[in-house]
Chains A and B, each alone.
Chain A
Amino acid sequence: MAHMTPTPVLEPGQDRTMILNMGPQHPSTHGVLRVLLEIDGETVVRLMPDIGFLHTGIEKTCEAKFYQQVVPLTDRIDYLCPMTNNLCYVLAVEKLLGLEIPPKAQWLRVLFNELTRINSHLVWLGTHAMDIGALTVFLYCFREREEILKLFEAVSGQRMMTSYFRVGGVALEPPLGLFDRIRDFAGYFPEKVDEYENLLTGNPIWGMRTKGVAKMTAEDAIALGATGPTLRGSGVDIDLRRDMPYSSYEKFQFKVPVSQEGDVFARYMCRVQELRESIGIVRQALDGMPEGPIKAKAPHVVLPDREKMKTQMESLIYHFKIITEGFAVPAGEVYQAVESPRGEMGYYIVSDGTAKPYRVHMRSACFANLQTLAKMCEGHLLADVVAAIGSIDIVLGEIDR
């Protein structure tokens, strides 16, 4: 691998500084992030992330697939929030097609999107706390995450790579009793958040490691393209779910947590409060779940019912045609953004009128958020780099794509 050669060249600027290599195999880089650090004693003088180790060319692969075949690829970009990626992609294709989605499918999408957010934030909280030295929280978080993965498995057959949202609706009707299980989970989850907070929020050691560390102003955050809790932790009040709603989010009530301090603790508080808000949205989605179909009425796009396919010629033909030829999408381009657990996840899709996308580009939230790392760390202590990396919640699969 050519990557073994130390590519981003960072030469020591002064006689008294040295270059330290961190990663790509390092437990606190959350995947394969390599960070080059120029340090003066314990102080970071310059910081330069090196990415691309997980680059698999997903954008190129998409160009060779039918529109419906891209959905499973989107799971694999950000493996901690597969449903958010599914949602963003299907919304973009539906916008290109001009497709109306029935209310029940939209509600199901909101429900599982919020469970995904909780899932992703739990992994973040556990690993972030573990990086800083609070090992216990990790086990607590993964206990609840396991429950969510079981719910995903029940609804889609998969724990992580769900591909549950499809162009035109969702893949399957949820099994009987699933909503009761989710309601149970929503019932006891707030207590569990209290449990995490008891371990961390008031803990003086946690406070010393996070308060006033890796600070970033709102101006810097906007200029560097930060989104999500990384931006809201610096006091910028924007959440795409509330401000530019999609998939019926305008029908849900929730608060958008914002902190003013711009440090690691502020970003931590934003995400922990988001856990509580998300479980509120889950409850609202369960209470207001409409009746009706889960797929749009668009036979040339949505696969027919299995039963109908076995009894009706027309359905069988559509099934055969969608599987073998895909469905043509009118020429044009759209940019659809959703609020992923990490920030603005955007899909830019260009169609040339055929059954395969001409170009698919994923705007990854972490990719932009990672640029803030140098701003947060330069001039501060080496030990705080680990806290800063954890606080921007990166997933390297999404950065490298």
Chain B
Amino acid sequence: MALPPSITDIDQLKSHPAVARLQQWNPEAIHAVKFDRDEMTIVLDRSALREACALLREDQACPFNFLSDVTCVDWYPAEPRFEVVYHLLSIPKKERLRLKVRLNSSSLNVDSLTSIWPGANYFEREVFDLFGVRFAGHPYLRRIMMPEDWEGHPLRKDYPVEGYR
């Protein structure tokens, strides 16, 4: 029942292929790493996201060639408020990797991954619709779940669960 403690020391996690690759490329891009419950998380600098994903996709040792999921978590009222979460999968190596980008509520902008994985399209539209995060370079950034004239972003924590808006 006892969970092993999570590892957040980057020196202990150097052997992970994704961490090694990104450190070799640009150590500044990595803000934090975490290995918890057998899952690897790397928090990246916002400006490094697109290039880091392109690198990881083409990596020789362990290509993370499949984008499983894009979503977002709202940590209202903390700052940085939003975490955009990407789940990558390596189909040849059967490895998963979680990438995160933290965003301040003053500038909700992050690069779109549609140029690397066209499949990011719907996922990013959903995050835009339900959280209000904007993706630079997205070909068709419009609401996908809610009606076009809807006000507000329902999955934000300051959006009420019941009653009127």
Contacts and interface: CB of A to CB of B under 8 A. Distances in A.
Contacts of B36: 332-333
B126 to A, nearest CB: 8
Given A98-B2, A223-B119, A344-B68, A7 B155 contact: no
A335 B91 contact: no
B159 to A, nearest CB: 8
How extensive is the interface on chain A, given as a class? 35 or more
A236 B91 contact: yes
Given A2-B149, A225-B119, A350 B73 contact: yes
Contacts of A350: 73
Contact of B3 (A226, A244, A330): A330
A225 B122 CA distance: 10
B154 interface: yes
Contacts of A226: 119
B94 A371 contact: no
Contacts of B71: 348, 361, 363
B37 A96 contact: yes
A236 B94 CA distance: 13
A400 B6 contact: no
Contacts of A225: 66-68, 117, 119-120, 123
B91 A348 contact: no
B132 to A, nearest CB: 14
Interface stretch (B14-22, B102-110, B140-148): B140-148
Contacts of B73: 350, 358-359
Interface stretch (A54-62, A279-287, A309-317, A386-394): A54-62
B68 A223 contact: no
Interface string B87-101: 101010010101000
A237 to B, nearest CB: 9
Interface in A269-310: 298
Contacts of A8: 142
Interface string A1-30: 111010110000000000000000000000
Nearest to B127: A361
Interface residues of B, number: 45
A184 interface: no
B20 to A, nearest CB: 22
Contacts of A334: 37, 39
Interface string B21-47: 000000000000000110101000000
A223 B39 CA distance: 23
Contacts of B69: 335, 346, 348, 361, 363
A349 B123 CA distance: 17
A180 interface: no
A153 interface: no
A222 B65 contact: yes
A367 B122 CA distance: 8
B53 to A, nearest CB: 13
29 contacts: A2-B147, A2-B148, A2-B149, A5-B148, A7-B142, A8-B142, A52-B147, A55-B145, A55-B146, A60-B161, A98-B1, A98-B3, A99-B1, A222-B66, A223-B118, A225-B68, A225-B117, A225-B123, A243-B94, A333-B41, A334-B37, A335-B96, A335-B98, A337-B96, A348-B69, A363-B69, A368-B122, A371-B118, A401-B145
